[in-house]
Structures are given as structure tokens and as C-alpha cells.
Amino acid sequence: MTTETIVKAFKFRLRPNRSQRRMLAACLSDHCDLYNAALEERRTAWSASRVPVRYTQQSAQLKAIRHDDSGGQGRWSFSSQQATLRRLNRAFEAFFRRIRGGQEPGYPRFRSRHRFDSVTWPKDGDGCKWIDGDSASDGISRVRLQGVGTVRVHRHRSIEGIVKTITVKREGPKWFLVLACETDAPGEQPKTGRATGIDMGVTHFATTADGEHIANIAPLKTNEGRLARAQRDLARYPKNRKREDRSTRHWQAARKVAKLHRKIAAQRRDYAHKTANALIERFDVIAVEKLNITGMTKAPAPRPDPERPGVWLPNGANAKAGLNKRILDAAWGQFIDILTVKAAWAGREVIAVDPRNTSRTCTECGHCDPDNRDREDFHCTACGYNDHADRVGAVNIASRAGLVLDGDGRPSTSEAPQL
């Protein structure tokens, strides 16, 4: 068996002193300037003569830019600057990909210094050095960054594998270090002989084909309430007010919103990991809904009533519609991504199927009717079958993935066709 390697990210708080803090900010803003200058060059060349500028051409100019030290660019690592140019290159590649795909292109934009929040050193030992506390005489972990100095790191857990890339991130007033480490993939897990489908819902985060509900995260609700209040608070201030004109209270309100967003994102990620682990432990094959990610940001269009001007017909916007739906879609998308990756490591399988009509089709007689479902209750209008609507969805998702149900209505891999 060949051992596969995977990349794991470890994120730690940085503890810079006052002067290091200043240098970290300067490092970000100089990399931001470099990014914008390189973007400017590409734009000008393109609009003047339709000549695309390539990464290699821009990278070749770095030496001269660093030598002419008037901008202070010579202070930083050559490699982190290259990484920044490559980041711009990726933005352009995505832009060209969107054009080819006939999507709205969205030309890469200039970045504000306030929004340019990370710099990556692509190779440990090249303009940066990770010093693990385990091998330090005082037990304190540090990172040496060219132009910044040796910064203390709060390494709250041990890292695994070999450090490949080092990234410094600013999140609000805090600084973080992200180490991308290469490590052996966890091996395959023993087979369980079981499979399931899962239905993603509003009341419950998900429901399995044997009718088990996976609850939504409770602490998230609290923070979402807090976020809604913080956003209302922030909305009292004019939106386009210049940064320098904002009052202290305005700043406080903005910071509070940003902080809650980060907190919620972290909780959601953590929950997705835990839920995915629990499912993978129990099932060999897991069928999920294929999420329509591109369509997901569009709310249903309002429909005017042709009979009565000024009156709008229901547009199919139900409990799942609107902003709530978008937030849930994003959470589910992230969950399915995490589940898929973890499943691959563990030798499990995730099958994504078209979820259309899965919660309105009878699992007993196959009758498909929107009236079969009334919120949580499924009641077949043809054969009278009763069940929880989410479980019906999960069973249909499982059978669409080719998983066969056993006597209890549980899909089982032993009876399933070869997948």
C-alpha cells in the first residue's frame, strides 16, 4: 500500500511585540502595494495593446524592485513577494476561466490595504523559519520572519508532519500564523457494512435514512441572534463614511460584527468536522444532495400578478428561501466538502445525487406530489404512507445513489450493487 500524504493546516495566535506588530503591518501593506502595482501593469498593458503580462515577466522584475529600495520592498522575502505575484496570477486565471465558461467575468480588483490580510512564505527556511517549542530550550515556539524578526507563537497544540508553507494572517486586531504541514493520510477504516443517505434540512441540520436527526448547533443560534443585533446597531451609521471620519462607536460596532462573523464561521467549521467524523465512523457509503452552488446565491424572482397590478404572487419562496437559505447552503456546501475529503482519507465513499423532488416522492409507492409534504410531515396522497419528511428525503437520496434498502428501511452496502 502506498502512503498518501495530505496537507493539514495549523493555526496559532502570534504574540508580536509592539515593534514587530508595526513591522507585520508594514509587511502586509508593502505586499498589498506590490499586488496592486502588478495588477496595474497587467491592466495597462492589456488596455493599451491587448498584451497579457505573465507571472514570469512580473517575477523577473522583482530583483530590480527590491534593489531600488525607496519603496522599502527590499526588506521582505523574495519568496513571499513571488507568492503574492502568484496570488494575482491565480486571480487572473480564475478571471479567464470565468470568461471561457461564459460567466460574469469580474476583472481582478485593486485591494485596499485594510483588506489585504495575509502574506505567505511558500517554503519553510526561505525568508521564514518555524522554530518549534519542542526543540527550543525554553519550550516556546517562535517564527522568524524576514524584515519582522523572531515572533513568539502560542502553539496550543502540537503540529503533525513537515512544515511546508508559512502564512501570516491579520484578523481584526489579532495576528495569526498558519502552518501548512504535509503529513501521512490517515489510513482506511474498517468496513461497517452500512450505508445511508442524508437529507439536509432547516429544522434539523441533517437527517439520516434511518430517521436519525442531526441537530443544528445550539451555540450558533445564540451568536446568530447576537450578530443580527450587532448588524442592526452598525446599520445606524452611514455606510459610505470614510474610515478617518468614523467615530469610536462606529468602529466598535463594525468590529463587533466582524468578530461575530469569525466566531460563527469557526463554530460552523468545527461542527462540520465533528458531524463528518461521526458519519464516516458509522457508514461506508453516504449519499448526499448535490448542491447547486452557482444557483444558490439567487433568491427566487418576484412574480407580479397579471390580473392585479401592484400585487405579487407567491414565488415559491418558502421557509428555505431568502437569506436564511443562502446561509444554510453555504454551511451545507462546506459540510459536504469536508465530508468528501475525510471520506476519501478513510476509504469511504460519498455520492452526490440530484435532490429534486426527494422530499415529495413517496418511498413506498413512488407517487410524487408537492401535497405529499406538509412541513415536517410526509403523508402520501396516493397510498397514505406516513413518515417524517426529512427521513423520506434521506431514503430517496440513498436510493438515487443506488443504495438498496433492507427490511427496516435502512440502506445496506451488502445488498447494494457494485458502486
Shortest distance, position 387 Cβ to Zn ion, whole Å: 10
Among 117, 182, 233, 364, binds Zn ion (CB under 5 A): 364
Listed residue (13, 20, 9, 16) closest to 154, CA to CA: 13
CB nearer to Zn ion: give 337 or 364: 364
Q: CB of residue 218 vs Zn ion: minimum separation in angstroms?
A: 35
DSSP output for 26-45: HHHHHHHHHHHHHHHHHHHH
Note the helical H segments in 319-411: 322-346, 389-400
Task: Find the binding residues for Zn ion in span 317-356 (CB under 5 A).
Answer: none
**Contact range with Zn ion by CB under 5 A, out of 5-13, 141-149, 214-222, 376-384:** 376-384
Interface residue with Zn ion among 99, 228, 265, 365 (CB under 5 A) is: 365
Is residue 380 part of the contact set for Zn ion (CB under 5 A)?
yes
Cα–Cα distance for residue pair 289/397, rounded to 1 Å: 7
Which is closer to Zn ion, CB of 282 or CB of 367? 367
Burial class (CB in 10 A: 0-12, 13-18, 19+), 138: exposed
Only one of the segments 215-223, 243-251, 334-342, 379-387 lies at the binding site for Zn ion (rule: CB under 5 A); that segment is 379-387
Specify the residue, 81 or 361, whose C-beta has the smaller distance to Zn ion. 361
Please state at what angle helix 18-49 crosses helix 78-100, rounded to 10 degrees.
40
Nearer to Zn ion, 226 or 373 (CB): 373
For residues 363 and 153, what is the distance between their CA atoms, to the nearest angstrom?
55
Pure H helices in 50-103: 55-60, 62-67, 78-100
String of contacts with Zn ion for each residue 121-160, x by CB under 5 A = ----------------------------------------
The CA distances from residue 289 to 134, 396, 416, in Å, are 44, 10, 19
Which of 278, 299, 382, 419 is the binder for Zn ion (CB under 5 A)? 382
**Cβ distance to Zn ion smaller for residue 279 or 380:** 380
CB of 397 to Zn ion, least distance (A): 17
Interface with Zn ion, residue 373, by CB under 5 A = no
Cell of 205: 441540520
Q: Check if the beta carbon of residue 197 is closer than 8 Å to that of residue 399.
A: yes
Complex with Zn ion: residue 167 or 396, whichever CB lies closer: 396
DSSP string, 106-144: -------TTT--EEEESSTTSSEEEE-GGGSTT--EEEE
Of 4 and 369, CB closest to Zn ion: 369
Comparing C-alpha atoms, which of 5, 2, 9 is closest to residue 273?
9
Instruction: Tell whether residue 367 is a contact of Zn ion (CB under 5 A).
Output: yes
All cell numbers assigned to 360: 415529495
Interaction of residue 395 with Zn ion, rule CB under 5 A: no
Least separation in angstroms between CB 386 and Zn ion: 10
Provide the minimum distance between the beta carbon of 382 and Zn ion in the complex, in angstroms, as a whole number.
5
Q: Residue 204 and residue 330: Cα distance in Å, rounded?
A: 16
Residue 383 interacts with Zn ion (CB under 5 A)? Answer: yes
Give the up-direction half-sphere exposure of residue 117: CA atoms within 13 A in the CB hemisphere.
12
Q: Which stretch binds Zn ion (CB under 5 A): 114-122, 221-229, 285-293, 381-389?
A: 381-389
How far apart CA 328 and CA 275 sit, in angstroms, is: 15
All three cell numbers of 31, joined, read 505586499
Q: Which of 23, 153, 163, 362 binds Zn ion (CB under 5 A)?
A: 362
Instruction: Write down the least CB distance from residue 395 to Zn ion, Å.
Output: 12
Report d(CA 58, CA 71) in Å as an integer: 17
Least distance (Å) from Zn ion to the CB of residue 403?
20
Q: How far is CA 341 from CA 112, 272, 319, in A?
A: 34, 12, 30
Q: How far is the CB of 363 from Zn ion (least distance, A)?
A: 8
SS3 at position 309: coil
Instruction: Choose one: 69-77, 260-268, 357-365, 388-396; the region binding Zn ion (CB under 5 A).
Output: 357-365
Q: Which is nearer to Zn ion, 52 or 384 (CB)?
A: 384
Supply the minimum distance, in Å, between the C-beta of residue 302 and Zn ion. 34
Query: Residues in contact with Zn ion, total (CB under 5 A)?
Result: 8
What one-character DSSP code corresponds to residue 383? T
Q: How far is the CB of 381 from Zn ion (least distance, A)?
A: 8
Tell me which residues touch Zn ion (CB under 5 A): 362, 364-365, 367, 380, 382-383, 385
